[in-house]
Amino acid sequence: MLTRNHHEHLDFVKIVYSKQVIHGKLQLIPLELYADGTLKRSA
């Protein structure tokens, strides 16, 4: 089972953005993309 902190052992690739419409407004959500293809919401 993967722990919540499994990203600490993976190679970080880049920041990508996801588009979301919240209350009628477009917002870009920053996400961290890792070498294995997983995404984690950026702080």
Q: Which tens digit of pLDDT belongs to each residue from 21-38?
A: 999 999 999 999 999 989
Whole-angstrom CA distances from 12 to 20, 21, 33 are: 23, 27, 6
Strands 12-22 and 39-41, how do they pair?
unpaired
Q: Residue 35 sits in which domain range?
A: 6-41
Number of domains in the chain: 1
pLDDT at 1 over 80: no
Task: Indicate whether 1 belongs to any domain.
Answer: no
pLDDT at 9: 64
Task: Indicate whether 24 belongs to any domain.
Answer: yes
Which amino acid, residue 39? L
pLDDT higher at 3 or 27: 27
| CA pair distance 9, 16, nearest whole angstrom | 19
Task: Indicate whether 37 belongs to any domain.
Answer: yes
**pLDDT, average across residues 3-8:** 53
- State the pLDDT confidence band at 10, using cuts at 50, 70 and 90: confident
Task: Indicate whether 31 belongs to any domain.
Answer: yes
- In the chain, alpha helices (H): none
Which amino acid, residue 21? V
Q: What pTM value is reported for the model?
A: 0.63
